[in-house]
Amino acid sequence: MNMLRRGRFAPTPSGLLHIGNAFTALCAWLQIRQAGGQFLLRIEDIDKSRSRPAFAERQIDDLRWLGLDWDEGPQAGGPCAPYYQSGREQLYENALERLKADGRIYPCYCSRADLASIASAPHGLSSEGTSYPGLCRHLTNEERHANETVKAASLRFMMTDESSSFEDAIHRVQNFGREEMGDFIVKRADGMFSYQLAVTVDDAAMEITDVLRGADLLDSTPRQLALYAALGLKPPRFAHVPLLADAEGSRLSKRDKSLTLATLRAEGARPERLVGLIACLAGWLDRLEPVTAQELIPCFHTKQLNKPLISVSDEQLRWLQES
């Protein structure tokens, strides 16, 4: 019997959505709609210092403008509520308690300055910087007690000594050595849960079968797979799509105000043009033409998405902004 496929888009409300976010959201939505599955929207506002409710509301409105809908999530509800991470912290705490009971967590007293001063520390995963050299992993109880009087501890997950291998649905087999991953933080000293822990717990609790996201998160996958294994959870299938870049090859970001969906909408851009541009960039259409998200469902494939970046030309951007 075929399992019902469940996918999601999970933006962080720390800024406005730009066309790169729209590219990833549309890919994730089309994958699940083509499979006849269920699509969820989750707002990843675990970082309260950077997240803003106004951004979340605008992101939801922009996604609907793009032509996307969701079976579960904000405004739609569903059995896995709440769909805001800020309301799910007890689930993360429960997961931490299990990891502690299994001896997979230890306190770390290192500051960023401490780690930056270690010239020999190996380069780690691009999404999280330098690989942690394990300075606090083997502290004695006495040493930990002495550190606690000076500094609050973060909590690190203890990786095994094994390398990690998994198959990405787009990029095929991926291999990561133990030295690349390092023990990573699952709860910061200020009490904030990490992205790695929260996303793993939420995707499992929401029974997500397919995670399609940007290629910048490809190397986060082995850490999340380690958490799935430690918590006895079944991991989803992973697929990582290219990020969008400008004509010079620089990645688009939330700082590119002119390419946010909010700015494009204010300037009169039509959603069918943005969807058509994305379809052309992804190889679903062979020319620029307006199209709706719904019309693209039978066209979706990932044959041309096995690259880290796709550049958007100035000519394509001019076409997008034509009325």
Confidence of residue 145 (pLDDT cuts 50, 70, 90): very high
Q: Quick check: 121 pLDDT over 50? A: no
Is the Cβ–Cβ distance between 317 and 19 less than 8 Å? no
Please spell the DSSP secondary structure of 204-223, one letter per residue.
HHTT--EEEEEGGGGGGHHH
Determine which of 25-39, 130-144, 194-208, 298-312 has the lowest per-residue pLDDT on average.
130-144
pLDDT of residue 111: 83
Which is higher by pLDDT, 119 or 234? 234
Q: Is 10 annotated as a binding residue?
A: yes
Q: Is 254 annotated as a binding residue?
A: yes
Domain coordinates in residue numbering, the chain: 6-86+242-320, 90-195
Check whether the bond before 82 is cis (ω within 30° of 0): yes
Residues 6+ apart with CB under 8 A from 119: none
Q: Is 299 annotated as a binding residue?
A: no
CA 226 remoteness from chain centre: 16
Is the Cβ–Cβ distance between 215 and 308 less than 8 Å? yes
Q: In the structure encoding, which two tokens stand for residue 118, read together? A: 């270690």
Mean pLDDT, the chain, whole residue set: 92
Q: Is 44 annotated as a binding residue?
A: yes
Is the Cβ–Cβ distance between 229 and 258 less than 8 Å? no
Q: What is the pTM of this model?
A: 0.93
Q: 3-class SS at 241?
A: strand
Q: Which CATH architecture has domain 90-195?
A: Alpha-Beta Complex (3.90)
Burial code (b: 16+ CB inside 10 Å, e: under 16) for 189-218 equals beebbbbbbbbbbbbbebebbbbbbbbbbb
Confidence of residue 124 (pLDDT cuts 50, 70, 90): very low
β-pair partners for 316: none
pLDDT in tens, 244-295: 998 888 887 655 677 999 999 999 999 999 999 999 999 999 999 999 999 9
pLDDT (average), residues 229-253: 91
pLDDT of residue 179: 73
Confidence of residue 128 (pLDDT cuts 50, 70, 90): low
Q: 3-class SS at 18?
A: strand
d(CA 282, CA 84): 30
Q: Is 12 annotated as a binding residue?
A: yes
Q: Is 136 annotated as a binding residue?
A: yes
d(CA 190, CA 73): 28
> Is the domain 6-86+242-320 a CATH 3.40.50.620 member?
yes
Strands 38-41, 164-168: pairing is unpaired
pLDDT of residue 182: 87
Q: Is 8 annotated as a binding residue?
A: yes
pLDDT in tens, 88-103: 999 999 999 999 999 9
Which residues are identified as catalytic?
Answer: 254
Q: Is 184 annotated as a binding residue?
A: no
pLDDT of residue 116: 67
Which is higher by pLDDT, 127 or 281? 281
Confidence of residue 3 (pLDDT cuts 50, 70, 90): confident
SS (H, E, C) 139-202: CCHHHHHHHHCCCCCEEEECCCCCCEEEEECCCEEEEECHHHHCCEEEECCCCCECHHHHHHHH
Strands 243-245, 309-311: pairing is parallel
End-to-end CA distance of the chain: 47
Q: Is 280 annotated as a binding residue?
A: no
Confidence of residue 129 (pLDDT cuts 50, 70, 90): low
Q: Is 108 annotated as a binding residue?
A: yes
